């Protein structure tokens, strides 16, 4: 019998109790957190959909692998096991572990910024990627396909790079001023939307024409491969492993926050296909920033868990359940008329808060208003992905208006059940039914870098 949403392909062997609070308590807790869900204690959250980053559950094989972790400072067996896994999956020659994705960005991205006034072009930079591009003295340009902004309509690959926009931008800025092309797979800020193999291939061709490097931001590489298998002609009979290998073959470097599809709570990867000089530069910089190049801020236990997690993420049954959970939540919301980025992507349901609360202007952060309302309603923590996250223009310091105002309901891997997702859906639907009562927010304190993490707010009456 074919199930619409497959059941958990695992049994639950260890449980962690979660606390419930009352609505009155949550009103007070949110106020004390400066109306910023990042400042809530996780103990005060019933269902935590803030992020899928480092929040998933590890398997028994990963926990077992941790027991053989070798804590040598230099040249540990754990490092070599992880290096072997990275080489098998990506097929790249060089590998450096780092403590998480932004560690990879901090070490790698400045290496291609050789003079002032350079640009990275991406199918959308993730927020820390953008921050590291700017900290390296360059500027970040996003060239995602327009389909991405056609929120309510189905497109197979809304995460794709817009090829004409990419070419025009390279020509306009001058190829000598482009530091590199970044392919974020899946495209997190577009709604966890996948990128097609054909698109990655074309970006490779454009890069070759202009003599540029392609960097794969592969935090969710396995989820992207799952969508390629499901939706792209010619890939139905290929394994996820084969698809990942082909995706990587079009890149020069692979940066990864392993806290996502690495199925670990901490870790990151820099992998470089064959550029020894670039590898040597990264190795030099990783020492002061992250640690010796054979541990890069990780301990042996972390590296062993990651070596196993990278392989487990290629399991198709695991991936099917993972994506089915996201689809289940998306379907429940859509059936109730809640506007979402459709189809749902790989790791989250993105609620379209521009349509949800059109009476709140971008500078009063409609997605924050919805996010705070569902916390108060049910103790569910989500995250704003909109004008608050986008921040200010680094040159004019004006608030930038995001094309989309999204609330991300991010599903951690192997952590929650469909029943938890029902609680989430009921809360969002309830808030949607009372959406006219929602109010916007203004800053009480605004931090200067990645402001969404630490700023505080007050509701506008």
Min CB(106)–ligand PLI separation in Å:
9
- Binding to ligand PLI, residues 120-139 (CB under 6 A): 126, 128-129
Min CB(277)–ligand PLI separation in Å:
24
188 lies in the site for ligand PLI, by CB under 6 A: yes
CB 117 within 8 A of CB 177: yes
Min CB(51)–ligand PLI separation in Å:
3
101 lies in the site for ligand PLI, by CB under 6 A: yes
302 lies in the site for ligand PLI, by CB under 6 A: no
CA–CA gap between residue 217 and residue 258 (Å, rounded): 11
* One of 45, 47, 82, 102 touching ligand PLI (CB under 6 A): 102
Contacts of 353 (CB under 8 A, 6+ apart): 360, 366, 367, 369, 370, 386, 405, 406, 407
Min CB(146)–ligand PLI separation in Å:
21
DSSP per-residue string spanning 290-324: T-STTTTT--HHHHHHHHHHHHHTT-HHHHHHHHH
**Closer residue to ligand PLI in complex, CB, 101/366:** 101
Residue owning tokens 């801020």: 297
**Closer residue to ligand PLI in complex, CB, 128/193:** 128
Counting every residue written for the chain, the total comes to 461
Q: What dihedral angle (degrees, nearest 10) is formed by the CA atoms of 125, 131, 137, 143?
A: 20
**Cβ–Cβ contacts within 10 Å for residue 8, how many?**
14
CA nearest neighbour of 92 among 219, 270, 212, 261: 270
Q: Is 452 a catalytic residue?
A: yes
Q: Residues binding ligand PLI: what is the number (CB under 6 A)?
A: 15
Set 125, 213, 260, 273: catalytic member:
260
- Binding to ligand PLI, residues 27-86 (CB under 6 A): 51, 53
CA–CA gap between residue 269 and residue 83 (Å, rounded): 10
- What DSSP state is assigned to residue 177? G
Q: Is 260 a catalytic residue?
A: yes
**Closer residue to ligand PLI in complex, CB, 190/360:** 190
219 lies in the site for ligand PLI, by CB under 6 A: yes
Min CB(66)–ligand PLI separation in Å:
19
* One of 217, 302, 331, 352 touching ligand PLI (CB under 6 A): 217
CA–CA gap between residue 141 and residue 134 (Å, rounded): 11
Min CB(220)–ligand PLI separation in Å:
7
**Closer residue to ligand PLI in complex, CB, 268/297:** 268
184 lies in the site for ligand PLI, by CB under 6 A: yes
193 lies in the site for ligand PLI, by CB under 6 A: no
265 lies in the site for ligand PLI, by CB under 6 A: no
Furthest-apart CA atoms within the chain: distance in Å: 60
Q: Is 73 a catalytic residue?
A: yes
**Closer residue to ligand PLI in complex, CB, 132/420:** 132
Nearest residue relative to ligand PLI (C-beta): 101
**Cβ–Cβ contacts within 10 Å for residue 45, how many?**
20
Segment interacting with ligand PLI (CB under 6 A) among 24-32, 39-47, 97-105, 200-208: 97-105
* One of 26, 106, 259, 301 touching ligand PLI (CB under 6 A): 259
Q: Is 238 a catalytic residue?
A: no
CB 99 within 8 A of CB 54: no
**Closer residue to ligand PLI in complex, CB, 217/324:** 217
CB 60 within 8 A of CB 71: no
111 lies in the site for ligand PLI, by CB under 6 A: no
Segment holding 183, helix H or strand E: strand 178-184
- What DSSP state is assigned to residue 437? G
Segment interacting with ligand PLI (CB under 6 A) among 100-108, 200-208, 328-336, 351-359: 100-108
Set 10, 72, 73, 393: catalytic member:
73
CA nearest neighbour of 369 among 377, 360, 378: 360
Q: Is 126 a catalytic residue?
A: yes
Q: Is 155 a catalytic residue?
A: no
CA–CA gap between residue 427 and residue 374 (Å, rounded): 6
CB 344 within 8 A of CB 152: no
CA–CA gap between residue 120 and residue 113 (Å, rounded): 9
Q: How far are the Cα atoms of 125, 293, 336 from residue 340, in angstroms, in the given order? A: 21, 42, 11
Segment holding 96, helix H or strand E: strand 94-98
Positions marked active-site: 73, 126-127, 217, 219, 260, 452
Which residue ranges make up the site for ligand PLI (CB under 6 A)? 51, 53, 100-102, 126, 128-129, 184, 188, 217, 219, 257, 259, 268
């Amino acid at each position: 019998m074919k199930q619409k949403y497959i059941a958990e392909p695992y049994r639950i062997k260890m449980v962690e109790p979660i606390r419930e609070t009352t609505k009155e308590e949550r009103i007070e807790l949110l106020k004390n957190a400066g109306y910023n869900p990042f400042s809530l204690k996780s103990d005060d959250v019933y269902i935590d959909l803030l992020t899928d980053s480092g929040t998933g559950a590890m398997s028994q094989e990963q926990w077992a692998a941790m027991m053989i972790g070798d804590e040598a400072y230099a040249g540990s067996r754990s490092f070599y096991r992880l290096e072997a896994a990275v080489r098998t999956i990506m097929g790249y020659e060089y590998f450096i572990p780092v403590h998480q994705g932004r560690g990879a960005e901090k070490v790698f991205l400045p290496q291609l910024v050789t003079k002032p006034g350079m640009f990275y072009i991406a199918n959308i930079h993730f927020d820390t990627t953008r921050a590291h591009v700017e900290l390296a003295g360059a500027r970040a340009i996003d060239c995602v396909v327009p389909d991405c902004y056609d929120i309510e309509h189905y497109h197979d690959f809304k995460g794709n790079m817009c090829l004409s926009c990419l070419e025009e931008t390279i020509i306009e800025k001058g190829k000598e001023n482009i530091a590199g092309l970044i392919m974020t797979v899946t495209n997190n800020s577009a709604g966890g939307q996948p990128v097609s193999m054909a698109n990655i291939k074309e970006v490779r061709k454009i890069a070759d024409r202009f003599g540029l490097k392609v960097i794969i931001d592969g935090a969710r590489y396995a989820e992207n491969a799952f969508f390629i298998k499901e939706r792209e002609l010619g890939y139905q009979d290929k394994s996820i492993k084969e698809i990942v290998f082909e995706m990587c073959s079009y890149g020069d470097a692979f940066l990864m926050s392993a806290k996502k599809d690495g199925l670990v709570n901490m870790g990151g990867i820099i992998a470089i296909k064959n550029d020894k000089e670039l590898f040597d530069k990264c190795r030099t910089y990783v020492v002061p920033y992250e640690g010796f190049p054979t541990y890069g801020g990780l301990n042996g236990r972390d590296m062993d868990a990651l070596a196993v997690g990278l392989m487990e993420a290629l399991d198709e049954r695991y991936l099917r359940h993972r994506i089915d959970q996201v689809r289940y939540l998306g379907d429940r919301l859509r059936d109730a008329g809640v506007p979402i980025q459709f189809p749902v992507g790989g790791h989250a349901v993105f609620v379209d808060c521009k349509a949800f609360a059109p009476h709140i202007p971008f500078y009063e952060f409609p997605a924050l208003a919805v996010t705070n309302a569902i916390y108060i309603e049910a103790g569910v923590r989500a995250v704003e992905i909109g004008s608050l996250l986008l921040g200010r223009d680094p040159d004019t310091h004006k608030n930038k208006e995001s094309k989309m105002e999204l609330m991300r309901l991010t599903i951690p891997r192997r952590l929650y059940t469909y029943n938890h997702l029902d609680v989430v859906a009921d809360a969002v639907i309830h808030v949607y039914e009372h959406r006219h009562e929602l109010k916007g927010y203004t800053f009480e304190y605004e931090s200067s870098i990645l402001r969404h993490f630490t700023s505080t707010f007050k509701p506008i009456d």
